[in-house]
Structure 1
Amino acid sequence: MNKVIKRTYSYTFLLPAAVIYLVIFIVPTVMSFFFSMTRWTLFDWKFIGFDNFVMFFEEASLRIGFQNTLIYAVVTCALKVVIGLLLGVFLTSKIRVRGYLRSVVFFPALVSTIAVGIAFSKMMHPTYGLINKALAWFGIPAVDWLGNTDIALLSVALTDVWKGVGFATVIFIAGILSIPEEYYEALQIDGGNSYNKFWHIIVPLSRPATNTVIIFAFIGGLRSFDLIWSMTGGGPGFATDVIASIIYKQYQAGFYGLSTAGNVILFVVVALFAYPLQYFLNRREVEL
């Protein structure tokens, strides 16, 4: 009897969190699945089965959206991992101003994504943008960063990296600082140099941090919308359209059921990529 009372008493502390999770996540998720199979407005709905999903997959720009989403996720994830690791190594070295530099690197992560998108869209303007003006000093001709279909998606991706690499760097700093000093001392005794330190100690022993950055960055890339929309609106043409922007355009057009079905599909796509990736990375970590 006492065990039951103690267990019940313990669970009561979890009840507030469970209620919040139920209201904020579970209920909206179930409602989304339901309304994805309806034609609904703010005042009425009609059940139509899987018609919304069929219509969504018939969307002309969907193939380009899927392609752009994967490219965007891979590019931003790879650059955040590489640059974040290099900055993490640099900012854990013995430099006097490393505390200040850590703040500078992390600062973009604190700025509103919409504000960053608007600012960079102005800076990348082909005529009066600061980036092209800076290139002009070196005799380099102006580039239409967001109007050229060949480089528009890459331009937005690089902006995303600028904003998000600070978060990745903080994770890498924590991972590097958690490595025991004994490894460095053993390397020094064996006559190892900075190259050996990086490849044989920091890279393998900071793998948990690397895995965390990969998962967060890749999932964030798959779900990205606000930065892309504030910079290009999905244009020029469909050059920077991703799944999320296609969903938003359908919502703007008043196809609420169709856009809800798109959100369900995006949820499934993220899950299909995230869970196998997490399983693979965690298994590699255990093997090491």
Structure 2
Amino acid sequence: MASVEIRVPSRSSKLKRLFYKDGTWAFLLLLPNLLGFLAFTFLPVIASFFLSFTSWDMLSPIQWVGMENYAGLIHDETFIKVFWNTLYFSAVSVPLGIVLALFLAVALDQNIKFKKFYRAAYFLPVISSMVAVAVVWQWIYNPEYGILNYFLGFFGIKGPDWLTSTVWAMPAVIITSVWKNIGFNMLLFLAGLQAISESYYEAADMDGARWHHKFRYITVPLLSPTTFFVTVMSVIGSFQVFDTVFLMTQGGPARSTSVIVHYLYETAFKYFNMGYASAMAYVLFFLVLLITLFQFWRQKKWGIY
């Protein structure tokens, strides 16, 4: 009687079949997102890099101009102005937003009444439409009927024409932007505060430390990873600001609030100079990249290893 040999699949072959089966399903499930990334992110990035070396108005044939667009930016007075406006916006809004968000987070991390309500209230502007926020703040800044100038009048101060003044328009935009985004940074700081062990504060209480000592020597050092992350994200976001400027001032008056992204938008979709706008976009990209790399290089100063 002939013997029948039964072959039992090895464990490794089962794992391989399971891997290939799961890998196929994983690829199929990721495919829509991958196609969207390729079509709307990767390919446009590559195309814009090519366009930055060309002259194209979307109607005429594309003409290769080499580094002419990048050289033109150096002598473009408007670009230089919006570049400094962007630095001004970032230099003021980033520290202001971080400091206020930190103090809000510390205050709302205490055992106070209606704590959840306050947290939701401060986070509400983050999820609010920028159009609605711009309309509300334009009313607040109204020189005749605005509540801000009305409040300043109680102290004998004549409020300025906020959004039509070359001096006060940018501070007005900065205040609106900080108010709009402060809830997001506050939430990140709250998460960082939750990760700090109460044992540090209990030991400080036993040593008779006051609240400002605990804040300086416990809270701030242990929040350094969160602070570093918030700083990096805030700087990147500040260099990409557009909607606040576009909705509130349109870059005016006299381009006193126009920033790089706003000028880029006008160059591309108002004047249809796609090559020049693409060059501007890549200058902004490398500027943000260099600043971010510098922040990571200096991260040891934050106590992050």
* Pairwise same-fold verdict (TM > 0.5): yes
Q: How far did 1:4 drift?
A: 6.8
CA distance in 2, matches of 1:248, 1:121: 22
1:134 CA drift (Å)? 2.5
Partners of 2:143 and 2:98 lie apart in 1 by: 30
Shift of residue 5, structure 1, vs aligned partner: 6.3
Q: Quick check: 1:73–1:219 contact (8 Å CA) kept in 2?
A: no
Pick one of 243, 264, 273 that aligns with 1:226. 243
1:132 aligned partner = 149
In structure 1, the gaps of 5 or more residues are none
| 8 Å CA contact 2:58, 2:274 repeated in 1 | no
**In 1, distance between residues paired with 2:22 and 2:216?**
46
Residue from 197, 200, 210 that aligns with 1:183? 200
State yes or no: 1:26 paired with 2:42.
yes
Alignment of 1:244 onto 2:254: no
Partner of 2:160: 143
Name the counterpart of 2:274: 256
- Whole-Å separation in 1 of the counterparts to 2:22 and 2:75: 51
Matched residue, 2:7: none
The one of 282, 291, 294 equivalent to 1:273 is 291
TM-score, with structure 1 as normaliser: 0.91
| Aligned equivalents of 1:48, 1:5: Cα separation in 2 | 54
Counterpart contact for 2:221–2:303, Cα < 8 Å: no
User: 1:57-80 CA distances to partner (integer Å, 9 max, x unpaired)?
Assistant: 332212221111111112111011
Task: After superposition, give the CA deviation of every residue in 1:114-136 in whole Å (9 maximum; x if it has no partner).
Answer: 33223212321222222212222
CA distance in 2, matches of 1:25, 1:36: 16
Greater shift, 228-237 or 98-107, is seen at 228-237
Identity %: 31
The residue aligned with 2:89 is 72
Please give the residue correspondences for 1:45-124 in structure 2 after superposition, counting only pairs within 5 Å. Answer: 45-124=62-141
- Structure showing greater radius of gyration is 2
> Which residues of structure 2 form unaligned runs of 5+?
1-11
User: What is the CA–CA distance in structure 1 between the aligned matches of 2:21 and 2:97, rounded to whole Å?
Assistant: 44
CA distance in 2, matches of 1:18, 1:204: 40
